[in-house]
Structure 1
Amino acid sequence: MFVVAYDPFDPKGSINIRWDVVSWTSDGYVAAVTISNNQMYRPVTSPGLTLGWTWAKKEVIWSMAGAQATDQGYCSKFKGNIPHSCSKIPSVVDLPPTVPYNQRFSDCCKGGVLESLGQDPSAAVSAFQLSVGHSGTSNKTVRPPKNFFLLGPGPGYTCSAATIVPPSVSYSADGLRKTRAMNHMCPIRVHWHVKANYRAYWRVRIAVANFKYRMNYTQWTLVAQHPNLNKLANVSSFFYKPLIHYNTNDTGMFYGIKNLNNLLMEAGTDGHVESELILQKNTKEFTLKQGWAFPLMIYFNGDECKMPLPDIYPSLPNFTNSNPIPSSTLATLLLSALLLVFFSSRH
């Protein structure tokens, strides 16, 4: 979808809105929405953008990360679990930069302000994630939103109709068979498996799986952001290098050991690598409750991964009295802590 206004000095200038369905839920789906300012010299200034649309059916927004709806709407028919918004025509605004980490999403929280593409491409993009309910649970039953609009400084923008993009298609090795992408559309999957939770330490296993056939990843890198990486005590099977920025040691790069696991093989029995971390707890900076056991951001080979919504992360106690977490609980945490990796298309 494009927001356009012809400018002879910037004939290709537009604001693009991409609505990516990244996973299915019991009554709907999770979508990542990206707003890109492709205007070469026109920034979007304060008070920033407001994005709105009309639902095609009776959809609701269960939860959001990186943005919020300005009106909850009429949710009186819901008992117990109340949606974030029941409005037929929701309006969504970006969150300010000061919001807590567990409410964030990649490229969010700029207060709706976007730089121009010519000035700073990385700051010309904003994104948020939302969980949509009562919408259908397949490509055949889901209907895309319609009548998108963008309000901002000045008169705002008029949007074109949304365009549905066909699924990605690749060919088999013999060139005769077309194969559609997997349902979850993940070329790479990262497991963040909380294995043990002690009083002073906790242990995590990171496993990276390659779902691509006929493609290896040589000299791969994995970047993770977590507030407890400043107390990383041990890393096995991977090399680790902290990426300290603005005197903050919460981000680091993991990469393979030469001739051992620096080559991530194509999909199959050898198409995975893994490591275990031991982290010393720092209760003054964070706790393991409310999703803090899991990373804030993940990058694979420089591509940003789309994270699940924070409210689906399992909660953990700060420590166990004597023993580590039981193995049955750990199995549940492994399934709950899947990082679905969706690479944004580069055009």
Structure 2
Amino acid sequence: MIIFTASAYDPLDPNGNITLKWDIMSWTADGYVKEVIWSMVGAQATEQGDCSKFKGNVPHCCKKTPTVVDLLPGVPYNQQISNCCKGGVVGAWGQDPSSAVSQFQVSVGQAGTTNKTVKLPKNFTLLGPGPGYTCGPAKIVPSTVFLTTDKRRKTQALMTWNVTCTYSQFLARKHPSCCVSFSSFYNDTITPCPSCACGCENKRSCVKADSKILTKKGLNTPRKDNAPLLQCTHHMCPIRVHWHVKTNYKDYWRVKIAITNFNYRMNHTLWTLAVQHPNLNNVTQVFSFDYKSVAPYGSINDTGMFYGTKFYNDLLMEAGPSGNVQSEVLLQKDQKTFTLKQGWAFPRKVYFNGDECMLPHQIRTLFYQTLQEEA
């Protein structure tokens, strides 16, 4: 019997990854011939495969390369295990440690009866919500130690191995999946997202905001291939982040952040927004969102993660009237560095759900010129 655990970490963590841990809790009686999955708790194989050679008890899955999916919330208790059944949604560790772990139990037959005869599984693929993950080989690590509920006794797995999977935005897609627009109280001009910031492949199939198609039933149902149905925009991005410099006080300044979903077929559960700006070391108050300083590089505290408040706005709905979330941030000034010139008040980098968003061309040029002057 094996317990499988997956843990996720912050997208801006320099050592960030998803770790798949396998803990062998007990051996089955049958030896190693061809593995089968007798039963699973907290997850299921998508296909059973050919189990015709078995009489009596039929295995849960007989495929050599099974695809395993998480169960949906609310399944019967006899199908559950702790930290399971989240519908495949694994949040960021910094956002909520309890939602960053997914777990299921699998009983494997004909797969070895000792540490010497068991063979580690190969060719792991983490499908996630799409491509982009690369998984390394399984590696044997020190056995996991468990603490009993009364915390008076420790037990340990008979054997443990880890699989590390890393994510690459470049492997996932050839275009960004989000863009950023800027505005400020001291200028009437809105700096928009770049045209075709996320590619214009979906331009022909996009839907105008006032189209009658939007009244059809089943419009928001996702497709198996995750093909988007985007609202027609000049940037053609599923997600737009807008950063508005709202007010300039004597000792503080205020920013309004709005995240808008333009995809009619996808919502975002437990979304995250990571922002890099030099004044995030002096965040005084965040309204409507939760906030956590990331500080991925030790003493440099210029990166923070915004995310929705649980049961309030941690779900970003599909495109439409409810497809946006907003917040305001109050920051204390450092009089030595604060300025409204050269685009200083705008973020250097923005990430939505771990993917870097396209900044306006004008702002990127200003940042580059400023770096050259400082150098």
TM-score normalised by length of structure 2: 0.37
Greater Cα radius of gyration, structure 1 or 2: 2
